[in-house]
Amino acid sequence: MTRYESAIDLDAITAIDMHVHVEIDDHGHSSLPDDLNEAASAYFSTDGPRPDLDGIAAYYRERRMAAVVFTVDAETLLGQPAISSVEIAAGAARNNDVLIPFGSVDPRKGTAAIDQARRLIEDHGVRGFKFHPTVQGFDPSDPIHFPLYRVLQDAGVVALFHTGQTGIGAGLPGGRGLRLALSNPMLLDTVAAEHPELQIIMAHPSVPWQDEALSVATHKHNTWIDLSGWSPKYFPAELVRYANSMLKDRVLFGSDFPLITPDRWLRDVEKAAFRPEVMPGIMKDNAVRLLGL
């Protein structure tokens, strides 16, 4: 199987979307059970298409953007096998002019997750890993997961963590048992402190813990914030203020496609108070530096 190598022409693209979900594979399989997919669609008031990898590539190619693509492996908690990160890496290699693959492993699988992470890095060329503590049902600050983080740190790949509220499970009885507190960004302070060379992205405006995320990001300079999952017109004012100033070099554009599209994000960002001079960094330059492109 072809190992991913980026062929992105940085001068030809206008942006890098750091947060794009692959929700269906070439066989029609989803990493989330149907009830969670439906709940998320209702939460985001969308029932748009969920394209496969080649469809995602075509969508971003048309917009002259690159995209970081991934799934979430939560098989232990949800009992549903994940979309294959190997296939995602292969699809990104097939579309390496616009796609950048991140892997996903289930931290609750212990040494099996560590072995899988190594293979995804060494054999398939993934550039980072996506974690969703709420959906995967794990405390990211628990030292039991530190050996996994050390593999990522030693390889120089990125760890992207969901933070804050989630639409997954919203409205279902008991939120389908999913625990929001596991996605408090303050839990990532421990991860960043114990792994100072690991580059950590705190995904999304971390509602209702935005101040915690900003505190971690200003104290631990191996942490970053992506702006996915919310329309920019609803961003907390403090997040925008920090993005305009002390965090301007560590804030990243992300949409949360397909639930929020880059078209909508770009339309709505005009309603947010971002300074024009910070936008090139947010949209592309910071990601180029983080990913070593």
Which residues, 6 or more positions from 18, have their beta carbon under 8 angstroms from its beta carbon? Answer: 68, 160, 201, 226, 228, 252, 253, 254, 287
Tokens of 287: 């990601």
Measured distance CA(287)–CA(278) in Å, rounded? 13
pLDDT digits (tens, 9 = 90+) for 136-155: 999 999 999 999 999 999 99
Q: Please tell me the class of the 15-291 domain.
A: alpha beta
The whole-number pLDDT of residue 190 equals 98
Name the pLDDT band for 2 (thresholds 50, 70, 90).
Answer: confident
Contacts 24+ apart (CB under 8 A), 272-279: 272/232, 272/233, 272/235, 272/240, 273/237, 273/240, 273/244, 274/232, 274/240, 274/243, 274/244, 275/244, 278/243, 278/244, 278/248, 278/251
- Quote the tokens at residue 118: 């190594």
- What tokens appear for 260 in the block? 């929020």
Q: Are the CB atoms for 138 and 144 separated by under 8 Å?
A: no
Residue (of 30, 11, 16) closest to 158 by Cα position: 16
Q: Say yes or no to pLDDT of 36 above 80.
A: no
Three-state secondary structure call for residue 276: helix
- pLDDT tens for 162-216 read 999 998 888 888 988 999 999 999 999 999 999 999 999 999 999 999 999 999 9
pLDDT, one tens digit per residue, over 212-241 is 999 999 999 999 999 999 999 999 999 999
Domain ranges for the chain: 15-291
The reported pTM is 0.94
